[in-house]
């Protein structure tokens, strides 16, 4: 790759910018005028394109699911990672794989659950009108079921399943993987207020999502959220300082935001 500094700044870039802004404005007016006919719709309407994007996004969560699949509609996915957590006598088979790998990273998974919860809280009506509310809640629960099991004791949270180095060298399907699945946890001697408080946020926001449809599950989540928050608050520490191995994947610069 060449260095950025090697390239000359293009002279005509102001002109290009102006042309783009004008084209953008014209496109906006066209959408407002003819959008309905094209199925694009005015701002605020549930357009077909956004509807498709939402369905694809919900589909993505199904693709990422680990464990014994329920209602699986992805033809090329099957059960996987059924023994995850067994070393600690836990069932950590659910949850979602991080990306194209088979890692379960607790920090981004908790963030995902938090964001998905708030999306459902804000847009449940729109999701429902497109039949995407149930898939969204099922995917959320697929993560929170995992997080509940990852928090077996007051001051203990499992924050990772899998060995990222071994995993990233192995380009197999999760259904066929044979790699060891080591477990990583935060404790009072190796605390991680960032990952623990983010997990508390995931549990708390998900407890709001399930408050009306499943009050028992909602209180279970709230209990975990409160317990995790006190662990995060009373035993303060940055997980990537205490478990340096996580730095190459989901590093942390501190825990202030998560506690807040
Ligand atoms: C499976 O489908 C049933 C029936 O629609 C639904 O009630 C349930 O929540 C779904 N479970 C999961 C895990 O997707
Ligand atoms: C992780 O973040 C810390 C704090 O910002 C930084 O000092 C450290 O170098 C980072 N580690 C890696 C591997 O990037």
Q: List, for residues 96-148, the tens digit of each pLDDT value.
A: 999 889 999 999 999 999 999 999 999 999 999 999 999 999 999 999 999 99
pLDDT higher at 74 or 3: 74
Residue minimizing CA distance to atom 8 of ligand 2: 247
**pLDDT the model gives residue 95:** 98
Q: List, for residues 188-238, the tens digit of each pLDDT value.
A: 999 999 999 999 999 999 999 999 999 999 999 999 999 999 999 999 999
- Helices then strands, counting H and E runs in the chain, come out as 10, 3
**pLDDT the model gives residue 29:** 54
Ligand 2 geometric centre to CA of 87 (Å): 30
Ligand 1 geometric centre to CA of 251 (Å): 35
| Alpha helices by DSSP H, 10-149 | 13-38, 48-63, 106-129, 133-149
- The whole-number average pLDDT for the span 6-18 is 46
Q: Is the CB of 248 under 6 A from ligand 2?
A: yes
User: Does residue 52 sit within a domain?
Assistant: no
Core vs surface per residue 213-245: b (16+ CB within 10 A) or e: eeeebbebbbebbebbbebbeebebbbbeebee
pLDDT at 81 over 60: yes
User: Does residue 245 sit within a domain?
Assistant: yes
**pLDDT the model gives residue 47:** 80
Ligand 1 geometric centre to CA of 138 (Å): 7
Q: Which ligand is nearest to the CA of 255?
A: 2
Stated as kind and residue range, the H or E segment containing 104 is: strand 104-105
Residue minimizing CA distance to atom 14 of ligand 1: 138
Are 114 and 62 within 8 A, CB to CB?
no
Residue minimizing CA distance to atom 3 of ligand 2: 253
Ligand 1 geometric centre to CA of 146 (Å): 17
Are 73 and 62 within 8 A, CB to CB?
yes
Q: Is the CB of 145 under 6 A from ligand 1?
A: no
Strand partners of residue 186: 157
The token duo for 145 is 């079921």
User: Does residue 168 sit within a domain?
Assistant: yes
Per the prediction, the chain carries an average pLDDT of 89
**pLDDT the model gives residue 39:** 54
Q: Tell me which residue range forms the domain holding 97.
A: 82-259
Q: How confident is the model at residue 46 (pLDDT cuts 50, 70, 90)?
A: low
Ligand 1 binding pocket mutation candidate from 64, 94, 138, 141 (most atoms within 8 A of CB): 138
Which residues in 172-241 belong to E strands, given as ranges?
A: 183-186
In the chain, how many domains are there? 1
Instruction: Give me the half-sphere count of Cα atoms (radius 13 Å) on the Cβ side of residue 177.
Output: 27
CATH code: domain of residue 214: 1.50.10.10
User: Does residue 62 sit within a domain?
Assistant: no
Strand partners of residue 184: 160
Name the pTM for this structure: 0.84
Stated as kind and residue range, the H or E segment containing 159 is: strand 157-161
pLDDT at 27 over 80: no
User: Does residue 221 sit within a domain?
Assistant: yes
């Amino acid at each position: 790759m060449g260095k950025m500094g090697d390239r000359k700044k293009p002279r005509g870039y102001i002109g290009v910018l102006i042309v783009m802004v004008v084209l953008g404005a014209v496109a906006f007016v066209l959408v407002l005028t003819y959008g309905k006919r094209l199925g694009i719709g005015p701002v605020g309407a549930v357009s077909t394109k956004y509807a498709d994007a939402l369905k694809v996004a919900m589909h993505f969560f199904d693709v990422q699911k680990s464990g014994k699949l329920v209602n699986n509609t992805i033809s090329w996915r099957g059960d996987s990672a059924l023994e995850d957590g067994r070393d600690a006598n836990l069932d950590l088979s659910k949850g979602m794989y991080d990306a194209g790998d088979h890692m379960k990273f607790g920090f981004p998974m908790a963030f995902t659950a938090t964001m998905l919860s708030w999306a459902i809280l804000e847009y449940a009506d729109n999701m429902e009108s497109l039949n995407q509310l149930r898939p969204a809640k099922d995917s959320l629960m697929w993560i929170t079921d995992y997080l509940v099991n990852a928090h077996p004791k007051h001051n203990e949270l499992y924050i990772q399943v899998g060995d990222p180095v071994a995993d990233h060298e192995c380009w197999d399907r999760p259904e066929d993987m044979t790699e060891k699945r080591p477990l990583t946890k935060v404790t009072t001697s190796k605390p991680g207020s960032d990952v623990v408080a983010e997990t508390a946020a995931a549990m708390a926001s998900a407890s709001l999502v399930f408050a009306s449809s499943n009050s028992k599950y909602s209180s279970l989540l709230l209990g975990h959220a409160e317990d995790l928050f006190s662990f995060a608050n009373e035993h303060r520490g940055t997980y990537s300082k205490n478990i340096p191995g996580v730095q190459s994947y989901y590093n942390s610069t501190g825990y202030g935001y998560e506690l807040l």
